[in-house]
A = this chain, B = another copy of it.
Amino acid sequence: MKNLFTLIMAGGAGTRFWPRSKAARPKQYLNIFGNESLLQSTIRRFSMFTETEKIFIVSGKDQAKVLEEQTTMLPKKNLIYEPVGKNTLPCIGLAAMFAELENPDGVMVVSPSDHLIENDELFRDTVLAAVKIAVEQNGIVTIGITPAYPATGYGYVKTAQEITGNEKIRQFKVDKFVEKPSEAIARGYIEQGGFYWNSGLFVFKIQVFLDAVKQFAPDLYADLRKIQAELGKPTFEQTLDTVYRSVNGISVDYGIMEHANNIYLVEGNFVWNDLGSWESVYLNSEKDASGNAVSGEAVVVDTHNSYVFAEKGVVALVGLEDVIVVQDGDTLLVCKRSKAEEIKKVVDQLKAGGKTHYL
């Protein structure tokens, strides 16, 4: 499609993948599976059916080095740097301003940069079904993942009436977006049916999206127009910095999706995981007969259902069950799989002790 833009949001930081993710190299830049990073996998997946010249990435200046290293397949002008992170709505709005100048009739797909997605063809078909709805209905379309279990770590989207028109991929009007639920409530969602995991993947016509911003976040809309007016001028950087720092940081879910009426959902049945922890990486990794997932040089003796990543050197595991071992540079994590959420305590303690060189 000639007028299909992609925005990959790559500004995220995060500590749940310590010690591999560090301040200067968050999760999206890690080659967690295979040889390419999660960001590079995301770009490759879109480049199979869109033009790489129309793939934009928004990130922070502090990630410029690793971002440029990993995106040599894209025009450098497509790398957009926020002066400061402001959540998803300003981020998407900023990219929409860039894309609108190139093609005011453009359609945009918004995607996270750090999720696991398999079944590339089904992914493509699902995105293109969402594009079709977005164009035909003048809607903002989210891709909802068919829930595999009552997850408490994801937000949900509740659907309303189904829309006919696609034989393979179901599509609905959206009733509402709901926050991460308790397990009891999540179980209710699954029994009740009609609930999908919120994947963070959106599709819309740029004009439809900007109209929604104008209606539901008029101050932000005005600020984005100010920034757009400077694009290509020597004063652009300064204006971006001044104006963008003053906008409200708000998510697209809160800022638009919960208010607008023209929200649609297309059902995603490809393999999807937001990779929220080392535990989810283990669960999504290929394992040997003992249930071990090993990356790098390791000697594994009498050990089961464990995850090992060795960046260099050799790691030996003896007599262990259900552990995560991650060696990266001069940092090492050994963690019981069921306690992966507590890694943030390690990061907090290192921070409190002034050991930021390990972060």
Contact = CB atoms under 8 A, between A and B. Distances in A.
Nearest to A324: B318
- Interface range on chain A (Cβ under 8 Å from partner): 35 or more
Contacts of A320: 323, 334-336
A314 B349 contact: no
A346 B301 contact: yes
A333 B358 contact: no
A315 interface: yes
Contact of A313 (B299, B301, B317, B329): B329
A339 interface: yes
Interface string A72-106: 00000000000000000000000000000000000
Interface in A259-302: 297, 299, 301-302
Contacts of A319: 335-336, 338-339, 342
A343 interface: yes
Interface of A: 18-19, 297, 299, 301-302, 310, 312-320, 323, 325, 327, 329-336, 338-340, 342-343, 345-346, 349-350, 355, 358
7 contacts: A297-B355, A301-B342, A318-B346, A319-B335, A320-B335, A320-B336, A334-B334
